[in-house]
Structure 1
């Protein structure tokens, strides 16, 4: 583990196939525990898309996405809360605590950690009603920091309190990005079920290895589906001061340790724009990313 990460905060968004594969969940917990033992301050933000969709189907409620975000009715929000906090978070905390009394679960609603307003979106050039889907407008990181100072690993589910006092479903990628920025994190790592941002999907599975914030901002309007909020989150985090944000394949065992290790990292890494006068390395203009439509699961 690089010495530069010791004492620094790393926010990891846990999602994709790793969430529904017991072996991958255990290796993810191994990675987070290894970070903790190495002196890193890990924070986990988890999604629960596959489990939420499965429960909605069991209850015969509609499953619908627009602009990469889940359309959330009040009934859907009840299921989101139940699945995220009552099942997914419990399983993840249990896996982490197999390594000792490390993890503490919490929701973004707790202590008003995440505050949101109702989010609007456009799909196909038309406005769409997402229902109780929130856009984070403020983060109160004191509770998360207090847990880190106590030597704990906060595990946060992405449900936020609205400025109107109601609960809102928040995309886990964007929640992780907002929390990383508020915590002045060294790195944001997002696990998904693709290898990274594809350069020319669906014609090629070549991954763009590195992007500056400015290059990603240029590409963002061309992205679609589940990759859109991930790359939007990376861009927001880096522009807010996070030193690097990375999307990588959570289907690969020990993906987190590989991403933070000394060897060339897999996936797509987003870094701040270079200082004036510096020449950036190979990035998006060398591999022109096309419309990203690969399926992803948050």
Structure 2
């Protein structure tokens, strides 16, 4: 028999009621997202810090248990760089993309598919999820061709870096709409079977577009889109036209430009909402989509 101290229970009641209020606040968002697909690009500091790793895995597992269909696309640049260092191979980047020769693509595939992907799958499974690790080679999930970047007005070959030509969405639909959580490594495959390294943001956007996902969420190491370069104020909601205005005025600059343009491409392809959120905040996914205020920037069509 267990007995509750009634007086102590009364003292704790306010805290319990506040917890109930948090759950009720989440209710309409859970109802709206039930049965919908949410693509999450997992990267940045949330892949490095142990506490943040755990909170992200808990968030994703909870999403699945309340009826949302999360699909995870992960990066792994630091792991690749560290592995290359053991082979005394210097990492080179052009326009933000890793120059990927034959040895580098071999190491990148080994790290992303064999190490990083399986670690995420294992962590999700430990939280009670049923995760399945995939890469673009599996079932022809991510078909691609060689991508050439432009340097000083000329096309430049940067090796085995892929440009996505097709996403085999059926593979992901079958898995995500069942009881499983797909975890996708950003390795694509060419018509000749050659593997290609692809930017994880690009893969997440392409998958969200192919599936007409309800949401695309990008976990970053920034709070979101700021109102100006020297401000700490983060824009809560913004539409495509306003994004272009901020680019023209220089408020959005540097590495944030390709990220937001990728978000706009996803919206144009049918994704309902795109979120840029700070992966350094514990439980950032739940805070963004299950609370009234959110914690990052939501980008909409209008």
Q: TM tier, shorter chain?
A: 0.7 to 0.9
TM-superposed CA distance for 1:51, in Å, is 1.0
Indicate the residue corresponding to 1:286 in structure 2.
Answer: none
TM-superposed CA distance for 1:125, in Å, is 5.1
In terms of fraction of residues, the more helix-rich structure is 2
Indicate the residue corresponding to 2:122 in structure 1.
Answer: 94
Q: TM-score, normalised by structure 2?
A: 0.84
Structure 1 unaligned spans of 5+: 275-298
Distance 1:196 1:128, change over 3 A: farther
Indicate the residue corresponding to 2:9 in structure 1.
Answer: none
SS in structure 1 opposite 2:275? strand
Please tell me whether residue 210 in structure 1 is matched to residue 237 in structure 2: yes
Higher Cα radius of gyration: 2
| Residues 216 and 275 in structure 2, CA contact (< 8 A), matched pair in contact too | yes
Indicate the residue corresponding to 1:159 in structure 2.
Answer: 187
Please tell me whether residue 247 in structure 1 is matched to residue 281 in structure 2: no
1:29-63 deviation per Cα after TM superposition (whole angstroms, max 9, x unaligned): 00001101110011001000111111122221121
Please tell me whether residue 138 in structure 1 is matched to residue 166 in structure 2: yes
Structure 2 unaligned spans of 5+: 1-25
TM-superposed CA distance for 1:127, in Å, is 4.1
1:105-160 deviation per Cα after TM superposition (whole angstroms, max 9, x unaligned): 01011111111121222356554432211111111111111112321000000100
SS in structure 2 opposite 1:136? strand
Moved more, 225-234 or 76-85: 225-234
Moved more, 71-80 or 227-236: 227-236
CA distance in 1, matches of 2:108, 2:281: 27
CA distance in 2, matches of 1:115, 1:133: 12
CA distance in 1, matches of 2:115, 2:295: 30
Distance 1:76 1:218, change over 3 A: farther
TM-superposed CA distance for 1:256, in Å, is 0.6
Indicate the residue corresponding to 2:225 in structure 1.
Answer: 197
Indicate the residue corresponding to 2:86 in structure 1.
Answer: 58
Distance 1:227 1:164, change over 3 A: farther
1:188-223 deviation per Cα after TM superposition (whole angstroms, max 9, x unaligned): 00101111234443x444434333223335656866
Matches within 5 A, 1:46-125: 46-100=74-128, 102-123=130-151
| Residues 196 and 249 in structure 1, CA contact (< 8 A), matched pair in contact too | yes
Please tell me whether residue 32 in structure 1 is matched to residue 60 in structure 2: yes
CA distance in 1, matches of 2:212, 2:299: 16
CA distance in 2, matches of 1:91, 1:226: 28
CA distance in 2, matches of 1:111, 1:132: 20
| Residues 68 and 228 in structure 1, CA contact (< 8 A), matched pair in contact too | no
TM-superposed CA distance for 1:78, in Å, is 0.9
Indicate the residue corresponding to 1:295 in structure 2.
Answer: none
| Residues 215 and 273 in structure 2, CA contact (< 8 A), matched pair in contact too | yes
- Work out which of the residue numbers 183, 187, 192 in structure 1 matches 2:215: 187
1:54-99 deviation per Cα after TM superposition (whole angstroms, max 9, x unaligned): 1122221121222222221121111111111111111111110012
Matches within 5 A, 1:205-244: 205-217=232-244, 226-244=255-273
Distance 1:188 1:101, change over 3 A: closer
CA distance in 2, matches of 1:66, 1:141: 30
CA distance in 2, matches of 1:101, 1:38: 12
